[in-house]
Amino acid sequence: MADPEISETAYACDIPAGRPWSRVLKKGQTLRIIDCEGQQAVDALLYSADDPAERYSAQDTLRVQGSAYVELGTQLISNKGRVMARITADTSGSHDTSAGCCSCESNAVRFGEATKYQHACRENFILELSNHGLTKRDIVSNLNFFMSVPIEPSGNFTVVDGISAPGSYIDIAAEMDVLFVISNCPQVNNPCNGFNPTPIRVEIRDAPLF
């Protein structure tokens, strides 16, 4: 007899280090993102499948929540003030949504011009979004699952070593049909991936897991 948890999996995909992925989650489906080897940042964008002009908004999410990090129970809010999805399970604690995604251009500013020609999340996002008729213009604020960015009372803002152990996971339950876009972050210049990007796995289930 099959493992009941596995048998509920409607879809699964291993995403290699540094690669993008996207898929439409139907309302009621739950996406599990598994940080297979630990300390791997996963950048994510959400769009309404019916109207991609409605998309995830980090600022709206933080305003509604009243605090700065994404965690169990966080509602992911759109730029039209609607709940797109919510976090229904989380084994690692706290996730960033204020630091944005890495890009060739910001890498060059942060780490020197030699890093401009390194693969980056925005390259992944641009290419993946092109499959859905979307462009750089549609890349706004994103989520950074498994990425730890403490914001101190002074304002100090630092990407620090990830706290996710191998096998850590987060469940995101869709509250509307959403196009979910991932960049498995290729950054090697800061600790978000332990300076060593690794694979992740995504699984979709038809009902939320409790």
Q: Which residues bind another protein (CB under 8 A)?
A: 53, 57-60, 62-64, 66-69, 79-81, 94, 98-101, 103, 105-106, 108-113, 135-141, 151-159, 188-191, 194-196
Give the residue with the Cβ less far from another protein, 58 or 170: 58
The dihedrals phi and psi of 83, each to the nearest 5 degrees, come to: -80, 120
Q: Are 88 and 205 in contact (CB under 8 A)?
A: no
CB 156, min distance to another protein, A:
5
Q: Tell me which long-range contacts 131-139 makes (C-beta under 8 A, separation of at least 24).
A: 131/22, 132/22, 132/47, 132/52, 132/179, 132/181, 133/52, 134/47, 134/52, 138/47, 138/52, 138/55, 139/45, 139/101
CB 138, min distance to another protein, A:
6
Give the residue with the Cβ less far from another protein, 194 or 208: 194
CB 96, min distance to another protein, A:
10
Give the residue with the Cβ less far from another protein, 129 or 173: 129
Give the residue with the Cβ less far from another protein, 60 or 203: 60
Beta strands in 16-65 (DSSP E): 20-25, 30-35, 42-48
CB 61, min distance to another protein, A:
10
